[in-house]
Amino acid sequence: MSDKKVTATESVTTEPNTEQESPRAMEQFIVTFLKKLVPGESHRAGSLQVFPLRFATDGDSNPQPYLVLDEALQRGSLRIQEVSKSGQVPHLKAVNDGDLPVLLLVGDQLIGAKQNRILNTTVMLAPKSVEIIPVSCVEQGRWAYERSTFSSSGTACHAELRSLLYDSVQENLRYARAYSSDQLAVWGAVSKTLACVRSRSKTAALEQAYRDNRATLESLVRDCPAPSDAVGVAFAITGQIVGLEAFDQAKTLGKLWPKLLRSYGLDALYAPADKELTHDELWAWLQSHDGLSCHRFKPPGMGEDIRFGNQYMKGAALVMEGRVVHLQMFPTRSRPKGTVDPDDLPTQ
């Protein structure tokens, strides 16, 4: 495991890794993982549909242990703070004093310090390490300390912002080799969401939307428990796929399930519930992986980041020691019902 130390003055940049696998090998690696995912029957709550994903075959019988953000913060082994007293909007410093790696999930919301932020990409912090991590601001109207460090709100950015974040980071990786986002677009998405869920925040804080709708979102969490054997979840709103999250082990999904439900559930609060995605439509989308274009980057922390996409899907996977630790995926295009027309998919 890496014990790389990074100083707070370094920027979060990356270079594509061309020394190991060819684009074809990377494509086959991602396709193999996608083929293992089998969707179950959906749970429906208003306009939101939640499809658990299970492995078609047994997963890794001895997965590497690691903590998630909230666990590490509760144990006191993780500190996240501004990179300096003056701070930098797109960067934070993460200090893992523990003996286990810590998984920071893309979209995880961090509350406190000079302003609230979200993670731009999934990061696995090595034990006993310090990393500069790439973030975006989700509280435009504050730049003053509330406290010296960050805590977790138990929330992550919502579905629309997750997809926007993926697109803008992907663009910056392509042209600038950096895990930075389009900050103006992020602020725009936050403002739109606050308006859609009828929340008002003096500092334009995304967290206010979650606080104002806490009762509804917590009801969703209670009514839709994580299946014990699921390793992933796909979400649809008003009959359209809006995102997929999958992990290397069911234990990780169980820990992150409430946060993901709140995240994707926020977008569904005021969406019409007149359409529904069928199991066959989701299955067809999962199988539409022909011709994936794949690129490999080195993110902060441990592992490697494979970015992939074709005309039907786009996504990213954090890969460590030959296994996918976390994969997020979104539809590339949408249509009135179900995002992808099964008749327009390549024949399997």
Q: What is the pLDDT of residue 228?
A: 83
Whether the pLDDT of residue 90 is over 50: the answer is yes
Closest CA to 312 of 261, 244, 265, 263: 244
Whether the pLDDT of residue 321 is over 50: the answer is yes
Q: What is the pLDDT of residue 14?
A: 56
pLDDT grade, residue 5 (50/70/90)? very low
How many angstroms from the chain centroid is the CA of residue 237?
A: 17
Within-domain flag for 2? no
Per DSSP, which regions of the chain are E strands?
37-39, 43-45, 48-55, 67-68, 78-82, 91-96, 102-104, 108-112, 117-119, 123-125, 129-137, 150-156, 232-237, 240-247, 293-297, 304-309, 313-320, 323-331
As beta bridge partners, residue 79 has 95
Whether the pLDDT of residue 31 is over 70: the answer is yes
Within-domain flag for 216? yes
Within-domain flag for 4? no
- Close Cβ partners of 336 (under 8 Å, ≥ 6 residues apart): none
State phi, psi for 276 to the nearest 5 degrees: -140, 140
Within-domain flag for 117? yes
Q: What is the pLDDT of residue 59?
A: 61
How far is Cα 95 from Cα 253, in angstroms, rounded to an integer?
A: 24
How many angstroms separate the Cα of 328 from the Cα of each of 92, 128, 302? 22, 27, 17
Q: What is the pLDDT of residue 158?
A: 94
How many angstroms from the chain centroid is the CA of residue 241?
A: 15
Within-domain flag for 41? yes
Within-domain flag for 15? no
Whether the pLDDT of residue 20 is over 60: the answer is no
User: What is the percent of the chain where pLDDT is above 70?
Assistant: 89
How many angstroms separate the Cα of 290 from the Cα of each of 93, 140, 166, 342? 39, 40, 21, 14
Within-domain flag for 189? yes
143-157, 267-281, 326-340 — which is least confidently predicted? 326-340
Work out whether the CA dihedral 231, 235, 240, 241 comes out positive or negative: negative
As beta bridge partners, residue 235 has 50, 243
* The total number of structural domains that make up the chain: 1
- Close Cβ partners of 265 (under 8 Å, ≥ 6 residues apart): 45, 48, 216, 217, 220
Mean pLDDT value across the chain:
90
Pair of tokens at residue 176: 């600038």
Q: What is the pLDDT of residue 10?
A: 42
pLDDT tens column, 293-313 = 999 999 999 999 999 999 999
pLDDT tens column, 215-246 = 999 999 999 999 889 999 999 999 999 999 99
The residue segments making up the domain with residue 265 are 23-344
pLDDT grade, residue 36 (50/70/90)? very high
DSSP code of 145? -
Within-domain flag for 254? yes
pLDDT grade, residue 285 (50/70/90)? very high
Q: What is the pLDDT of residue 329?
A: 97
User: What is the percent of the chain where pLDDT is above 90?
Assistant: 84
